[in-house]
Amino acid sequence: METAARADRQLAGRRILVTGGTRGIGRGIVLAAARAGAQVATCYRKPGEAVTTLEQELARTSGKHTVLRADVRDENDVDRLLAECQASLGGLDAVVNNAGAFVPTPYEELDSAAWADTLRGNLTAAHLVSKGAVPLLGKGSAIVNIGSTVASIGMTGGVHYTAVKSALVGMTRSLARELGPRGIRVNTVSPGRIATEALDALPEDVAAEQRRVFSSFAALGRLGTVEEIANAVLFLVSERASYVTGQNIHVDGCV
């Protein structure tokens, strides 16, 4: 993927904010966008090795890239994050709302605090970032929300997560209509089960069993890759998707 992105440079000169970009899918999007020529800003909540290694990888990638500490659940942090984007990049051409959190919980054990935390971390955060970013976005720009296939198929122990990801799809559709006259496109990418470093961190036998079980759900018989999600996002923020808006694109191997 890196070779193709560098050869294509399809995002040359574009300025992109990716929230929650130090791990997993978000990290893949950040690196793919940078390698495709974009200037990328991303954020994280807690410092650690993932932040350090991302900064090192971006330093080896041409272009101006910024890694900032910000909690996108907090309106003040969002304001500060977007002010940094304005100051360092001069505006934005795309926003990818990737940050989110989920703790599996049986419905009968789901309390009000867990419900509110899931709403705030996955839906309210996307709203705060999108609303704050609109003044920085011009004609031809894009917002991409990272959803989940569970919004369509459901998930045991994930009623709260499924609910907010379903709401994100509705938000995307309505925001696409509202921002369309300004030339701003809004779409959702809904990943299925994706192989990330979180899976690699499990005990080897547990990871192998999860790969086997979840691979069996997909028509393609395997887990998706971070690169495959990044490919879809890069398409949607590029000029190649200039007439694609209000859509929920499933990248899930047909589960």
Active site residues: 161
Collect contacts of 128-133 with beta carbons under 8 A, ≥24 apart.
Answer: 128/72, 128/73, 128/75, 128/78, 129/17, 129/19, 129/72, 129/78, 129/81, 129/82, 129/95, 129/97, 130/95, 130/97, 130/175, 130/186, 132/78, 132/79, 132/82, 133/17, 133/82, 133/85, 133/92, 133/95
| Number of Cβ within a 10 Å radius of residue 59 | 9
Find tokens 């809004």 and name the residue: 186
Contact 11, 38 (CB under 8 A): yes
Distances (CA, A) of 141 to 87, 218, 253: 18, 33, 28
